[in-house]
């Protein structure tokens, strides 16, 4: 049997090496202090397993009660004592085993030791003291302190067994981690850098004029014939207003107006002849200009009498502006002094006008024209708003494609009729030809592509349309002129550019692009991560995109 002395300087791999290198089948581990590697049941079991694999048997000699407990739990044969002993007995056995070890060590010559007195420090690994010195220094074991010591040992064991890497293994592990970090760093330096390049090409303006037809009777776009389908909507509106007369004329004329005649006297109609005289409260006399019959009253469902009534034109009995009066009540002169005087009567709902004597203000032809122009302008605003309300959201309506028609100006007065104010009204109608804007753009782009047919690698961006005059061909068709504005952008061969700029510095890359790509207006470069100063050498890490405005 070979006895192997353990100390605090022995690591797990050193102890395992000693077990493996021993020539003896019986190996006894002498523990004179709480050697760190053996303060773990796991490590003790590992020592036992190593020995068994080599057909060897391992045992432990110790006087330390805490180590004894760990040894018993590991299944290793305990030579110091089989059970927990008292303090005196444990120390005696501990001393006896140690002395036996020393005597055997003195007598053994197989490994080159002398048989006389020896200095253990020159032969034993690793202490430089005699074994008896360790016995003197080893503290006595006291049973009453066993529980407290076991708790401390258990706590130490938990710390040790949680993570205990042998010193040699630790060095290998640290070296491995260092190699991984270096490899990752190299990979990151080579593979991680990226470049994001945004290119703004120069815009080449292209303009063209063309005509196209909007036709209600076709259903699909015809690019060759430049015809697009139309949707027609209609709106009608009437506007009226009061205007100032500005004409001047030497006149002698009688005021005219209209009154409503009422019959509350009888259910029998009352006839009145032409020139029947009507009188205002202040004595101004007007005459009817034709014979009329005023209907009799009617009794309604409630038993009340509803007067019969009829409108009648009147004229002042004398010329002059004094007879241009506001709405008034009239009595019938012929019935004065009779019961009919208050039962058959007349009322005007509007002022009389046209009475003049000498130079007076009249409605002129220019007054009527101005009134019509004003009403047309106001009516057009309203009718366009009305058309927009009717227009589908996916269709376009332009002023040139809206046809507005107005009727005749209507006024109760005529030209040269004396008045200061006059009323007038006007009816207008509108027809709008609606179309799909994309159809017009499709025609424009087909024309622009013909113009740029020699440029094979470009993008055409629509910049807008201007519309000219409209020509009405028929009730369902109109012809419009238009001007298209667009920009052509020459494209870049991205694969070729990546190959040419890979590995260049940012400044060299910008200079290269400037000298070799005249159609590029601007180039911006973003390098990542922050420490990267050059375009990556790996082409797939270079992204190139074009910044082209979308247009309208």
| Helix H or strand E segment including 484 | strand 477-490
Of residues 354 and 148, more confidence is placed in 354
d(CA 359, CA 418): 10
d(CA 59, CA 29): 6
415 contact partners, CB below 8 Å, separation of at least 6? 247, 362, 363, 364, 365, 368
**Mean pLDDT to the nearest integer, 38-45:** 79
User: Which pLDDT score is estimated for 121?
Assistant: 39
Among 368, 397, 393, which Cα is nearest to 235's? 397
Question: Is pLDDT at 141 greater than 60 in this prediction?
Answer: no
Task: Say yes or no to pLDDT of 323 above 90.
Answer: yes
**Reported pTM:** 0.44
- Tokens 């009540």 correspond to 329
Residue 37, CB-side half-sphere exposure with 13 Å CA sphere: 22
**How far, in Å, CA of 124 to CA of 105, rounded?**
10
SS3 453: coil
pLDDT in tens, 506-532: 888 888 888 988 888 888 899 888 878
What residue spans define the domains of the chain? 2-169, 192-208+436-552, 231-243+364-434, 247-362
Q: Given its phi and psi angles, is residue 274 left (phi above 0), alpha (psi -120 to 50 degrees) or beta? A: beta
**Can you tell me the distance from the alpha carbon of 549 to that of 552, in angstroms, rounded to the nearest whole number?**
9
Q: What is the pLDDT of residues 486-499, one digit of tens each?
A: 777 877 888 899 99
Q: What percent of the chain has pLDDT over 70?
A: 77
- C-alpha separations of 201 from 22, 527, 545 in Å: 82, 21, 11
Identify the band that residue 270 occupies on the pLDDT scale cut at 50, 70 and 90. Answer: very high
271 CB neighbour count, 10 Å cutoff: 9
Lookup: tokens for 314: 């009147």
Q: Which residues of 313-345 are buried (b: 16+ CB within 10 A; e: fewer)?
A: ebbbbebbbebbbeebebbbeebeeeebeebbb
């Amino acid at each position: 049997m070979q006895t192997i002395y353990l100390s605090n300087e022995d690591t797990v791999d050193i102890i395992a090496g000693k077990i493996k290198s021993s020539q003896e089948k019986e190996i006894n581990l002498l523990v004179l202090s709480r050697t760190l590697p053996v303060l773990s049941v796991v490590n003790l079991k590992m020592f036992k397993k190593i020995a068994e694999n080599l057909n060897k048997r391992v045992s432990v000699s110790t006087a330390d009660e805490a180590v004894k407990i760990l040894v018993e739990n590991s299944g290793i044969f305990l030579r110091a004592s089989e059970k927990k002993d008292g303090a005196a007995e444990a120390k005696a056995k501990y001393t006896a085993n140690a002395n036996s070890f020393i005597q055997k060590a003195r007598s053994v010559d197989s490994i080159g030791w002398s048989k006389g007195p020896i200095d253990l420090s020159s032969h034993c690994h690793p202490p430089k003291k005699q074994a008896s010195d360790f016995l003197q220094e080893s503290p006595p074991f006291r049973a009453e302190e066993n529980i407290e010591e076991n708790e401390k040992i258990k706590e130490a064991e938990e710390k040790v067994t949680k993570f205990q890497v042998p010193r040699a293994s630790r060095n290998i592990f640290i070296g491995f981690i260092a190699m991984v970090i270096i490899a990752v760093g190299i990979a990151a330096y080579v593979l991680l850098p990226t470049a994001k390049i945004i290119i703004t090409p120069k815009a080449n303006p292209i303009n063209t004029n063309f005509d196209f037809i909007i036709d209600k009777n076709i259903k699909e776009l015809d690019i060759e014939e430049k015809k697009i389908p139309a949707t027609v909507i209609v709106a009608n509106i009437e506007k009226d207003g009061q205007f100032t007369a500005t004409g001047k004329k030497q006149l002698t004329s009688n005021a005219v107006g209209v009154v409503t005649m009422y019959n509350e006297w009888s259910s029998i109609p009352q006839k009145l002849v032409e020139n029947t005289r009507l009188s205002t409260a202040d004595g101004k006399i007007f005459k009817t200009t034709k014979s009329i019959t005023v209907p009799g009253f009617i009794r309604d469902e409630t038993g009340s009498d509803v007067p019969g009534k009829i409108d009648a034109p009147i004229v002042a009995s004398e010329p002059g502006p004094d007879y241009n009066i506001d709405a008034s009540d009239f009595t019938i002169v012929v019935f004065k002094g009779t019961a009919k005087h208050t039962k058959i009567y007349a009322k005007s709902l509007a002022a009389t006008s046209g009475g003049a004597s000498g130079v007076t203000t009249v409605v002129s032809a220019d007054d009527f024209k101005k009134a019509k122009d004003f009403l047309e302008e106001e009516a057009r605003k309203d009718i366009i708003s009305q058309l927009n309300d009717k227009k589908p959201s996916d269709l376009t309506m332009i002023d040139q494609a809206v046809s507005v028609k107005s009727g005749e100006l209507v006024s109760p007065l005529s030209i040269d009729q004396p008045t200061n104010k006059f009323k007038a009204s006007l009816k207008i109608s509108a027809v709008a030809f609606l179309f799909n804007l994309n159809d017009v753009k499709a025609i424009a782009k087909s024309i622009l592509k013909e113009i740029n047919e020699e440029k094979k690698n470009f993008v055409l961006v629509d910049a807008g349309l201007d519309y000219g005059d409209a020509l009405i061909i028929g009730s369902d068709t109109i012809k419009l002129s238009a001007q298209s504005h667009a920009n052509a952008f020459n494209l870049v061969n991205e694969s070729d550019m990546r190959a040419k700029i890979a590995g260049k510095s940012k400044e060299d890359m910008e200079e290269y692009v400037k000298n070799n790509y005249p159609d590029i207006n601007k180039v911006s470069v973003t390098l990542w991560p922050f420490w990267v100063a050059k375009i990556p050498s790996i082409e797939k890490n270079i992204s190139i995109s074009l910044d082209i405005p979308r247009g309208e």
